[in-house]
Structure 1
């Protein structure tokens, strides 16, 4: 039988599809195998699809602003304007994070596939990069600034930390570096860098790092005021920071990781005492002479902060660059007696419900009369401590009862009225039968209006 002689046995062919170099545009040949340009594009497409699927898996489940606002209503009383502002800001922030995850996956470490290049060419917004928007909360103490930020993190299911700006110092000086904030966020994420890069940081007492009257009263370098603002600029805007996993950056041979802060939402808060006077001075300019027009608008301190401008914050002592990185500004209203009474009873984790649960663990039904709730709220309002002082009042009111109750038998209920809150009386104990205990025991259980 004759043998067919082929003259193209040595012609290079694609190891995947078997096509020769004459059948494709380009054939990349290696020592032991070859691959054509068509198979390369197919492999790039497969890898890009896997990256897109990974990006979709890593993307945060994003509730709508209305859903976020509804969730905030369960835990935060009042502050309707602030809750709406924060809902939109958080939604836009994490929408931008998801967009960047998707874009990074499509780019494939800087190498786009043919489909990606075609889509980018047809999309006029493809090269638009959405800037990061952090949040500044203004309002007196006890109005719920920290509680709002913590609740937002709970809703979004992301790591959350609270940092105090007054403990920070500029790098190279005694005190905490700004990277310590990121280190705490990394610990809150259980060491998962990817989760930490999507967390929320609440930076409290931001007003304390401002330079009062725009001047530095110290003869030495301002390492805890303006220096901290300058150190915060980069991580607020978004940078890749080196974060030590243990100890501090000053520690030798400490292990560190790289964290991208573009996906971290920074919520800065402060009471900004004196800012209202700066705003009033700007709004209260008036003419001289008879019939001069007074242009102060008769705004009280609660409403005057709504008129704040970047120029007012700069005059207060914040750097213009620092202000520019906090474009979303929200003002929280001071809580009145009605608001504080609602804080005590309405939220899902209201303080009265927390104490009722503590007492229920001992088989005791704790009851607060409406007059007692109003008395607690009025006391907190009179002290000027806001919602922050409610727990201290409750602790003082129930301290003796919580001390003696575990040692007492037969007690099934405790009733707190206004006299117990004012200190003129004590909480009344309710028993099923005759009781021998003291301080206001009710001998027979009865319904309390």
Structure 2
């Protein structure tokens, strides 16, 4: 049996908003309440919108910054400053959406978009993925290098919003409270501070196009994305309440900061910089450094909170392998356990894995490919090791010896 629908607003009969059925019409509780307010000279309250926001808030389960950071700690090793910045930004963002009516005044709260600066594999994307997963909000991840100005080969900037709508399964209301992560934003920096005379369709042009959606505006987006599906009816999406997180490695930014501080970045007698020196310099980044790097001031002005991520050390790599909830070693132990095989890693083997990842300069994301290469032959013959224990040693990682089987 089909549910009764209100003839005035289209709401479906529910426990919270029951619909009363008459001979020739149906009306819901919300419309009766609004009609009562009108008859008594009061402004009718937007009951449906209020009810929808409350439902969304219940789903999102607004958490404190400390609670958000605790969640991030379970999946991301180190990077405490970046975790705090992102936790505060997300908390303030959703508090702004759901609790703005608690204090009745004319003050408007602006959103705080985030810029994450850190080397490849340091956890920028993982931070955004983790926080969206535990807030149960849609997340769209886009690579800035694939974006171009409208009319040129490549993705339009608006396609980023399309991906968010798709991540929300077509629910525009939910998408309008989601998170968009734009990676490799440093790759769309213009080549110099001077305005380019010629077209820069994948650099400054993209930054200009991003301004509109990052600041907050109603954009028309194709439901299936891009120009590959012409003739689509465009969807209208308001980006005012979408949180934008931009990330990039910003190679060469360190030299810009050192020059500003008057340090000599050239010469034969330069001491080899340590990781701590690098992290200290990058943490001092300011707006004018990013302008010199090639980001336009208007875009920087819309990325209000900046956090720097540190380079990952060998010890960090070992922790990443073993400690997070979805740590790679835990995943392999579970895979082997499914075939009733025990898997163990010696500490020296873990350190060697970490060392290899650092040498390849791929960050934490390089750990999986290293492990897959090492474990391939073992997993090929895995079923025959049933009820046995396989131990991975340093020599196995270096491919000098077969694993121990007991």
Q: Same fold (TM over 0.5)?
A: yes
Residue of structure 1 equivalent to 2:38 = 40
Deviations 1:309-368 (A, max 9, x none): 100000000000010010100000111111110000000110101111111121211111
1:142-157 matches, within 5 Å, as 142-157=121-136
CA distance in 1, matches of 2:36, 2:322: 67
- Contact 1:411-1:429 within 8 A present in 2 as well: no
- Displacement after TM superposition at 1:180 (Å): 0.9
Residue of structure 2 equivalent to 1:74 = 74
Residue of structure 1 equivalent to 2:151 = 172
TM-score, normalised to structure 1, is 0.76
Structure 2 vs 1, CA of residues 160 and 317 (structure 1 numbering), >3 Å: closer, same or farther? same
Residue of structure 2 equivalent to 1:63 = 63
Residue of structure 2 equivalent to 1:280 = 258
- Contact 1:248-1:254 within 8 A present in 2 as well: no
Residue of structure 1 equivalent to 2:170 = 191
Runs of 5+ in structure 1 lacking a partner?
A: 1-36, 104-118, 287-297, 431-449
TM-score, normalised to structure 2, is 0.83
CA distance in 1, matches of 2:43, 2:198: 59
Range with bigger deviation, 41-50 or 331-340 = 41-50
Structure 2 vs 1, CA of residues 340 and 299 (structure 1 numbering), >3 Å: closer, same or farther? closer
What SS does the aligned partner of 1:263 have?
Answer: coil
CA distance in 1, matches of 2:245, 2:120: 16
CA distance in 2, matches of 1:205, 1:396: 27
- Displacement after TM superposition at 1:375 (Å): 1.1
Is it true that 1:129 corresponds to 2:126 in the alignment?
no
1:308-323 matches, within 5 Å, as 308-323=285-300
What SS does the aligned partner of 1:284 have?
Answer: coil
**What RMSD over aligned residues (CA atoms) do the two structures have, in Å?**
2.4
Structure 2 vs 1, CA of residues 414 and 319 (structure 1 numbering), >3 Å: closer, same or farther? same
What SS does the aligned partner of 2:212 have?
Answer: helix
Higher relative contact order (CA 8 A, sep 6+): 2
Residue of structure 2 equivalent to 1:301 = 278
- Contact 1:243-1:249 within 8 A present in 2 as well: no
Residue of structure 1 equivalent to 2:239 = 261
Structure 2 vs 1, CA of residues 384 and 51 (structure 1 numbering), >3 Å: closer, same or farther? closer
What SS does the aligned partner of 1:143 have?
Answer: coil
- Contact 1:216-1:222 within 8 A present in 2 as well: no
CA distance in 2, matches of 1:205, 1:265: 17
Residue of structure 1 equivalent to 2:388 = 412
- Displacement after TM superposition at 1:99 (Å): 3.7
CA distance in 2, matches of 1:197, 1:396: 42
1:9-408 matches, within 5 Å, as 40=38, 42=40, 44=42, 47-48=45-46, 51-59=49-57, 60-99=60-99, 102=101, 123=104, 126-215=105-194, 220-249=198-227, 251-284=229-262, 300-406=277-383, 408=384
- Displacement after TM superposition at 1:58 (Å): 2.7
- Contact 1:208-1:225 within 8 A present in 2 as well: yes
- Displacement after TM superposition at 1:383 (Å): 2.2
Runs of 5+ in structure 2 lacking a partner?
A: 1-34, 265-274
